[in-house]
Amino acid sequence: MKKIQLMKSAMYGFVCLTISCNMQPQSEIDTRVNDLLSQMTLEEKVGQMTQITLDAVGNGKDVFTSNVPFAIDTNRLKKALVDYHVGSIINTTNNYALPPAQWNSIIGQIQQTATQQTRLKVPVIYGIDAIHGSTYAEGAILFPQEITVAASFNPVHAYNMAKTSAYETRACGISWNFSPVLDLGSDPRFSRQFEGFGEDPYVVTVMGEQVVKGYEGMTDSINHPAKLASCLKHFLGYSVPYSGKDRTPAFISENVLREYHLPPFKAAVDAGVESVMINSGLINGVSVHASYDIITKLLKQELKFDGVVVTDWMDIINLQKRDKIAPTNKEAIKLAVNAGIDMSMVPYDYENFSKDLVALVKSGEVKESRIDDAVRRILKLKFKLGLFENPLTKLTDYPDFGSKAHAQLAYDAAADAITLLKNSGDILPLSKTSKVLVVGPNANSMRSLNGGWSYSWQGDKVDRFAGLNNTILEAIRLEIGEKNVRYIPGVSYVENGKYFEEKENNLTGAVAAARNVDAVILCVGENSYAEKPGDLNDLNLSELQTNLAKALAKTGKPVILVLNEGRPRCINSIEPQMKAVVQTYLPGNYGGDALTDILFGDVNPSGRLPYTYPAYPNSIVNYYHKLSEEQKPSEGAYKYESDYNPQYEFGFGLSYTTFIYSNLKISSDVITDNNPIEVSVDITNSGSRSGKEVVMLYTSDLYASITPDVKRLRRFEKIALKPGETKTVKFNIASTDIAYVGLDGKWITEPGEFEISTGNLKSKISYK
Task: Give the integer Cα–Cα distance in Å for 10 and 313.
Answer: 38
pLDDT digits (tens, 9 = 90+) for 347-364: 999 999 999 999 999 999
Find which of 9-18, 257-266, 632-641 is predicted with most confidence, using mean pLDDT: 257-266
CB of 187 closer than 8 Å to CB of 193: yes
Q: Answer yes or no: is pLDDT of 14 > 70.
A: no
Please provide residue 659's backbone torsions phi and psi, each rounded to the nearest 5 degrees: -130, 145
Cβ(232)–Cβ(180) under 8 Å?
Answer: yes
Q: Which of 26-30, 103-107, 333-337, 701-705 has the lowest mean pLDDT?
A: 26-30
Q: What is the pLDDT of residue 125?
A: 98
The Cα 450–Cα 442 span in angstroms is 11
Q: Each residue of 464-479: pLDDT tens digit?
A: 999 999 999 999 999 9
Q: Is 266 helix (H, G, I), strand (E, B) or coil?
A: helix
Confidence band (pLDDT; 50, 70, 90) for 234? Answer: very high
pLDDT of residue 4: 52
Strands 286-287 and 282-283: antiparallel
For residue 2, give the nearest of 632, 466, 450 by alpha carbon.
466
Give the mean model confidence (pLDDT) for residues 691-708: 98
Query: Model-level pTM?
Result: 0.96
Q: Do the strands 519-525 and 559-564 form a parallel or antiparallel pair, or are they unpaired?
A: parallel
- Residue 526 main-chain phi, psi, to 5 deg: -135, 155
Strands 176-177 and 229-235 come out as parallel
**pLDDT for the residue 25:** 74
pLDDT above 90 covers a percentage of the chain that reads 92
Edge-to-edge strands, sheet with 677-685:
659-666, 677-685, 726-733
Q: Give the range among 12-21, 144-153, 187-196, 333-342 with minimum mean pLDDT.
A: 12-21
The pLDDT tens digits of the residues spanning 419-434 come to 999 999 999 999 999 9
- Residues 72-77: contacts with CB within 8 Å, 24+ apart? 72/106, 72/109, 72/110, 74/113, 77/109, 77/110, 77/113
Interatomic CA distance for residues 651 and 608, integer angstroms: 5
Tell me the DSSP string of 554-615.
TT-S-EEEEEE-SSPPB-TTTGGG-SEEEE--S-GGGHHHHHHHHHTTSS------SS-EES
- CATH 3.40.50.1700 range(s) for the chain read 418-614
Picking from 195, 187, 197, the residue whose alpha carbon sits closest to that of residue 566 is 195
Which residues are registered as beta bridge partners of 524?
Answer: 563
Q: Could you tell me where in the chain the CATH 3.20.20.300 domains are found? A: 40-397
User: Among 15, 153, 145, 12, which residue's Cα sits nearest to residue 605?
Assistant: 153
- Domain 657-767 belongs in CATH node 3.40.190.100: no
DSSP secondary structure, 227-241, as one string: --EEEEEEETTTT--
Burial class of 697 by CB neighbour count within 10 A (0 to 12, 13 to 18, 19+): buried
Quote the strand ranges of 260-307, DSSP E. Answer: 275-278, 282-283, 286-287
In the beta sheet, which residues pair with residue 762?
Answer: 757
Q: pLDDT at position 498, please?
A: 52
User: What's the confidence (pLDDT) of residue 218?
Assistant: 78
Average pLDDT, the chain: 95
In the predicted structure, residue 314 carries a pLDDT above the cut 70: yes
pLDDT of residue 251: 98
Question: Is a pLDDT exceeding 80 seen at residue 368?
Answer: yes
* Separation of alpha carbons 325 and 323, rounded Å: 6
- Given a cut of 50, whether residue 101 has pLDDT beyond it is yes
Predicted confidence band of residue 201 (pLDDT cuts 50, 70, 90) = very high
Say if CB 202 and CB 209 are below 8 A apart: no
According to CATH, the superfamily of the domain at 40-397 is Glycoside hydrolase, family 3, N-terminal domain (3.20.20.300)
d(CA 648, CA 631): 15
pLDDT at 15 over 70: no
For the chain, the residue count is 768
Catalytically active residues, by annotation: 312
Q: For helices 329-339 and 368-384, give the axis angle rounded to 10 degrees.
A: 70
In sequence order, the 6+-apart residues with CB closer than 8 A to the CB of 576 are none
pLDDT, tens digit (0-9, with 9 covering 90-100), for 434-472: 999 999 999 999 999 999 999 999 999 999 999 999 999
Looking only at the bridges linking them, the beta strands covering 344-345 and 646-648 are: unpaired
**Phi, psi angle pair for 6, to nearest 5°:** -130, 150
Torsional class of 53: left (φ above 0), alpha (ψ -120 to 50), beta (otherwise) = beta
pLDDT at 499: 52
* Residue intervals in the chain for CATH 2.60.40.10: 657-767
Q: Is the pLDDT of residue 71 over 90?
A: yes
- Tell me if 62 sits within 8 A of 55, measured CB to CB: no
612-647 confidence digits (pLDDT tens)? 999 999 999 999 999 999 876 555 555 566 789 899
Strand positions, DSSP E, 16-158 = 50-53, 88-90, 125-128
In this model, does residue 593 exceed pLDDT 90? yes
- Strand, coil or helix: 114: helix
The rounded distance, in Å, linking the Cα atoms of 83 and 76 is 10
User: What is the reported pLDDT for 38?
Assistant: 98
Of 389, 391, 370, 375, the residue nearest 38 (C-alpha)? 375
CATH of 418-614, one of 3.40.50.1700, 3.40.440.10, 3.40.80.10, 3.40.50.720: 3.40.50.1700
pLDDT in tens, 654-690: 999 999 999 999 999 999 999 999 999 999 999 999 9
pLDDT in tens, 496-550: 655 568 999 999 999 999 999 999 999 999 999 999 999 999 999 999 999 999 9
Cα–Cα distance, 120 to 117 (Å, whole number): 9
Are 305 and 294 contacting, i.e. CB atoms less than 8 angstroms apart?
A: no
Answer for the pair 569, 191: CB distance below 8 angstroms, yes or no.
no
